[in-house]
Amino acid sequence: MAISIVQPLSAGSAIRLFIDPPAGARYWRILQMGLDDFDSLDIDSAEPFEDRGLEYMVWPDGSMVPLVYQGDDRVVVVAQHLQNEVMAFFRPYYRMDDDTWQAGATARGTPTALFEESSTDVQSFVRDRIEDALRVECLRGNIMAEYEYVQVYTAPPALEQNLRFPLVTITLDDESPAERAIGEDITGDWFDEVGDDWFESEGYLAQVQLSIVGWSLNSDERIELRKALRRAFIANLPIFESRGMILPQISFQDVDALNGEFNVNMYQVMGSFSCQAPVRVGRRYGEDEVIRDVITTRSNNG
């Protein structure tokens, strides 16, 4: 009749409790303290009290202890009254069929912020791949760039600057959740055999839309730039797949700015790139934290 597992959550200032109630328990209250001083509490003489959205148990002398949960859930997330790297103690009190309270064993845990990202940032990754491919195109003589490379920006450049054409801009139009999974476990956990680390994550597949614009002062050069961008897209398809980017699509169209939109005539190839990519945040578990064996027991608690 204990809290079987105390699991600090990677976001920090939060702990997940797994409850193993005794037979006959209808519901339970979980109290939290900074010290294991629950034996001094008489749960029968306390009453629930709410103050500014936080719940407490209050005794006749006015003393209060945080009430972090009341109900019959067997998995409870505590995200109040906690501070990172400060140990907290929890004790469940079970309301039995005979309307008495039965105290469980004390459990303890220390919340810690351990989250790290394991996402594919599509804009950054596509920008790097396009820039590398265009450098090859310049070395092959397909694009006549002044310094044998084409600058790829992540925002439209200020045209009053001393820019070198052709150039490319890759900007983010939209990123939003597209596919979710039960438990927000979209790609599964994985084991790093090199470091003996287990990475557990939550996240989703995001639908990402990019605008890829090639800027040129010459319409014929624009054609070569469009062809180079298309080759870069196709050549990188297996690399996109290796980073979890699925269903990549690209389209192009020509846009002429010849009516004074800029201080020179501008020939643009407007590209639209879309795909789905994993967005994940999680934590690593060291070798001594990895669950390697599981023991199951039969329970008659219902």
Q: What is the pLDDT of residues 41-51, one digit of tens each?
A: 999 999 999 98
pLDDT at residue 32 in the model: 97
What is the average pLDDT score of the chain?
A: 89
Mean pLDDT on 155-173: 87
Q: Is the Cα dihedral 61, 62, 64, 67 positive or negative?
A: positive
Q: What percent of the chain has pLDDT over 70?
A: 86
For the chain, how many helices (H) and strands (E)? 3, 17
168 near 134, Cβ under 8 Å? yes
Q: Which two structure tokens, joined as six digits, stand for 182? A: 């039960």
Query: Which residues, at least 6 apart from 173, have a Cβ–Cβ distance to it below 8 Å?
Result: 209, 210, 211, 272
- Average pLDDT (243-255) is 96
Residues making up the chain, counted from first to last: 302
pLDDT at 17 over 90: yes
What's 215's DSSP letter? E
Q: Which helix (H) or strand (E) holds 224?
A: helix 219-235
pLDDT, tens only, 173-201: 999 999 876 766 666 655 565 555 666 77
Q: Which of 126-130, 140-144, 209-213 has the lowest mean pLDDT?
A: 140-144
Q: How far apart are CA 104 and CA 196, in angstroms?
A: 35
What's the confidence (pLDDT) of residue 59? 93
Domains of the chain: 3-113 (2.60.40.10), 117-285 (3.30.2000.10)
3-state secondary structure of 131: helix
Global pTM reads: 0.76
Which helix (H) or strand (E) segment holds residue 279: the answer is strand 266-285
Beta partners for 285?
198
Spatial distance between the Cα atoms of 136 and 143, rounded to a whole number of angstroms = 9
Task: Give the confidence band of 286 by pLDDT, cuts at 50, 70, 90.
Answer: low
